[in-house]
Structure 1
Amino acid sequence: MLRGEKPLAHFADAEGGYPLSMLRYLRMFDRHVAAGQILRRDSFDQFPGRPDLRLHRILYALPGEEWRMEAMIELMRSPVWSATEERREGELLGYADWMNDWWIGQRCPVAP
């Protein structure tokens, strides 16, 4: 992100469920938030299939790319998931079309 190659990073786990190794990783991002180099947005939703848990999303974006955070949150709330949503996720994360094509080919192969 700091090289400007990727405009968005997205992490999700149960509220209070991020393992220590991930929390250390998130602290590295947060140092850059404190320095004003990237932005952070936290979002909470009901954890799918678990009424006792909340889903905690943490998103980081480059300045000027804040719109991607809200778009990603909205996308992740989609009740359906297909190659279209898979492609949109890749676009929001900043992957090139050829990368999305490859990934979708791996995740959503077309039946012969």
Structure 2
Amino acid sequence: MDDEFDLPPGIGPHNDRELELMLAGTKPMALFSDAVHVSDYFPDADFAPHVKTGKIIRVEEIIPDEPYAMRYLFFALPGEEWRIEEALILCRNLRAGTVKDHDADSARMGELLGYSREDIETFLAHSKIGGNQEP
């Protein structure tokens, strides 16, 4: 998620709090994505000690595409790995251009990331007027 998005009041973003929320057991999965070789957005070092001890599971996938490849980095709590598999399908469909219902996919990704139904609905309503694309 990009800190440049203007979120409406009522949405409690997980940005920059993913690890904290996951260690507290209140966030089941985190996702970071960006074009390959574009940014330092990925918090590998912060999550690494917890991945090493098995408190958090890490999965990375690079999806090649034109004009650039995308890197997707997922972290999940043990027992929540199924969320990564489902989120990867959503990401692959997005990159392939095969999404049939962007709102439905955005809502599902929000659920997988641990956002409340209310936050997801607020985000979807805001994205229709503001052009944002991810919960």
- TM category (shorter chain) comes to 0.7 to 0.9
Q: 3-state SS of the aligned residue for 2:78? A: coil
* Aligned mates of 1:6, 1:58 — CA distance in 2: 16
The answer to whether 1:76 aligns with 2:91 is yes
**Matched residue, 2:58:** 40
**Matched residue, 1:55:** 70
**Matched residue, 2:108:** 88
Which amino acid counterpart does residue 86 of structure 1 have in structure 2? S
**Matched residue, 2:17:** none
Q: 3-state SS of the aligned residue for 1:108? A: helix
For residues 60-104 of structure 1, give each alpha carbon's deviation from its aligned partner in whole angstroms, at most 9, with x where no partner exists.
000000001111010112222521111011011011111111111
Aligned residue among 30, 47, 52 for 1:29: 47
Which amino acid counterpart does residue 94 of structure 1 have in structure 2? G
Give ranges in structure 2 of 5+ residues lacking alignment: 1-21, 130-135
* Aligned mates of 1:92, 1:71 — CA distance in 2: 8
Structure 1 vs Structure 2: percent identity of aligned residues? 33
TM (norm. structure 1) is 0.82
Q: What's the Cα RMSD here?
A: 1.6
Are the counterparts in 2 of residues 83 and 108 from structure 1 also a CA contact under 8 Å? no
TM (norm. structure 2) is 0.69
For residues 41-71 of structure 1, give each alpha carbon's deviation from its aligned partner in whole angstroms, at most 9, with x where no partner exists.
0112113x31xx4222110000000001111
The alignment covers a number of residue pairs equal to 103
